[in-house]
A and B are shown apart, each in its own frame.
Chain A
Amino acid sequence: MTEPVAPATTAASPRSTTATAPAPVPRTAAAGLSTGAPDPSQLPVVFEVRDLSVYYGSFRAVRDVDLDVRQHEITAFIGPSGCGKTTMLRCFNRMNDLIPGAHPEGTLNYHGVALYGPKVDPVEVRRRIGMVFQKPNPFPKSIYDNVAYGPRLLGTKKRADVDAVIEESLTKAALWDEVKDRLKESAMGLSGGQQQRLCIARAVATKPEVLLMDEPCSALDPIATARIEDLMQEIKTEFTIVIVTHNMQQAARVSDATAFYSTDVNPESDRRTGVLVEFDRTETIFSNPSDERTENYITGRFG
Chain B
Amino acid sequence: MALTTIGSSSDTAIQGRVAEALEGDTDVKGRLFEAALIACLLVSLAVLALLVGKVLGDGLPVFADRGADFLDGSLSSQPDRAGISQAIIGSFWIATSVVVIALPLGVGAAIYLEEYAPRNRLTAFIEINTRNLAGVPSIVYGLLGLAIFVEYFDGFSGNQGVNRRTLAAAGLTLAALVLPVIIITTQEAIRAVPQALREGAYGVGATRWEVIRSQVLPYAAPGILTGALLSIARAVGEAAPLIVLGAVTGLLGGGTGLSASSLLDPSSLTERFTALPITVATWAKRPEQEFNVDDAAAAIVAMLVFVLLVNSIAIVLRNRFERKRSA
A and B held together in a complex:
yes
Pick the most buried of A135, A137, A199, A206: most chain B CB atoms within 10 A of its CB: A137
Stretch touching chain A among B63-71, B78-86, B198-206: B198-206
Stretch touching chain B among A39-47, A123-131, A243-251, A262-270: A123-131
In the complex, how many angstroms separate the beta carbon of A170 from the nearest chain B beta carbon? Answer: 15
Say whether A98 contacts B214, CB under 8 Å: no
Q: Say whether B129 faces chain A, with CB atoms less than 8 Å apart.
A: no
Choice from A93, A100, A124, A140 contacting B203 with Cβ under 8 Å: A93
Q: Determine the main DSSP class of B at the interface with A.
A: helix
In the complex, how many angstroms separate the beta carbon of B197 from the nearest chain A beta carbon? Answer: 6
Give the residues from 134 to 184 in chain B that come closer than 8 angstroms, CB to CB, to chain A.
none
Quick one: CB contact mask for B100-133 with A, threshold 8 Å, 1 for yes?
A: 0000000000000000001100000000000000
Q: Say whether B210 faces chain A, with CB atoms less than 8 Å apart.
A: yes
Task: Report chain A residues within 8 Å CB of B204.
Answer: 126-127, 130, 149-150, 153, 202-203, 205-206
Task: Report chain A residues within 8 Å CB of B197.
Answer: 137, 139-140
Say whether B200 contacts A126, CB under 8 Å: no
Q: Say whether A95 faces chain B, with CB atoms less than 8 Å apart.
A: yes
Q: How many A-B residue pairs have CB under 8 A?
A: 60
Say whether B203 contacts A203, CB under 8 Å: yes
Distance of A206 Cα from B206 Cα, bound (Å): 11
Task: Report chain A residues within 8 Å CB of B210.
Answer: 153
Distance of A133 Cα from B232 Cα, bound (Å): 41
Distance of A28 Cα from B197 Cα, bound (Å): 44
Q: Say whether B92 faces chain A, with CB atoms less than 8 Å apart.
A: no
Number of interface residues of B (CB under 8 A): 19
Q: Say whether B6 faces chain A, with CB atoms less than 8 Å apart.
A: no
Say whether B203 contacts A133, CB under 8 Å: yes
Say whether A124 contacts B200, CB under 8 Å: no
Task: Report chain B residues within 8 Å CB of A125.
Answer: 205
Task: Report chain A residues within 8 Å CB of B206.
Answer: 123, 149-150, 153
Distance of A80 Cα from B290 Cα, bound (Å): 81
Say whether A127 contacts B205, CB under 8 Å: yes
Say whether A135 contacts B203, CB under 8 Å: no
Distance of A122 Cα from B72 Cα, bound (Å): 61
Distance of A199 Cα from B203 Cα, bound (Å): 10
Task: Report chain A residues within 8 Å CB of B198.
Answer: 98
Q: Say whether A138 faces chain B, with CB atoms less than 8 Å apart.
A: yes
Distance of A113 Cα from B118 Cα, bound (Å): 28
Say whether A95 contacts B205, CB under 8 Å: no
Distance of A153 Cα from B213 Cα, bound (Å): 12
Pick the most buried of B119, B194, B196: most chain A CB atoms within 10 A of its CB: B196
Say whether B203 contacts A131, CB under 8 Å: yes
In the complex, how many angstroms separate the beta carbon of A58 from the nearest chain B beta carbon? Answer: 15
Give the residues from 74 to 102 in chain A that come closer than 8 angstroms, CB to CB, to chain B.
93, 95, 98, 100
Say whether A126 contacts B118, CB under 8 Å: no
Say whether B205 contacts A139, CB under 8 Å: no
Say whether A133 contacts B199, CB under 8 Å: yes
Say whether A139 contacts B200, CB under 8 Å: yes
Say whether A150 contacts B205, CB under 8 Å: yes
Pick the most buried of B119, B202, B205, B219: most chain A CB atoms within 10 A of its CB: B205
Say whether B199 contacts A123, CB under 8 Å: no
Distance of A96 Cα from B215 Cα, bound (Å): 20
Q: Say whether B207 faces chain A, with CB atoms less than 8 Å apart.
A: yes
Task: Report chain B residues within 8 Å CB of A203.
Answer: 203-204
Distance of A206 Cα from B197 Cα, bound (Å): 18
Known: A149-B214, A153-B210. A98 touches B200 (CB 8 A): no
Known: A100-B118, A100-B119. A123 touches B205 (CB 8 A): yes
Give the residues from 189 to 204 in chain A that come closer than 8 angstroms, CB to CB, to chain B.
199, 202-203
Give the residues from 135 to 150 in chain A that come closer than 8 angstroms, CB to CB, to chain B.
135, 137-140, 149-150
Task: Report chain A residues within 8 Å CB of B194.
Answer: 137
Known: A100-B118, A140-B219, A153-B210. A126 touches B199 (CB 8 A): no
List residues of chain B with CB under 8 Å of any chain A CB: 118-119, 194, 196-207, 210, 214-215, 219
A133-B199, A137-B196 are known; give 9 further A-B pairs, CB within 8 A: A123-B207, A126-B203, A133-B196, A133-B200, A150-B206, A153-B206, A153-B210, A199-B200, A202-B200
Q: List 9 A-B contacts (CB under 8 A).
A: A95-B199, A126-B202, A130-B204, A135-B196, A139-B197, A140-B197, A140-B219, A149-B201, A206-B204
Which 3 pairs, one residue from A and one from B, show the smallest C-beta to C-beta distance?
A: A127-B205, A126-B205, A137-B196
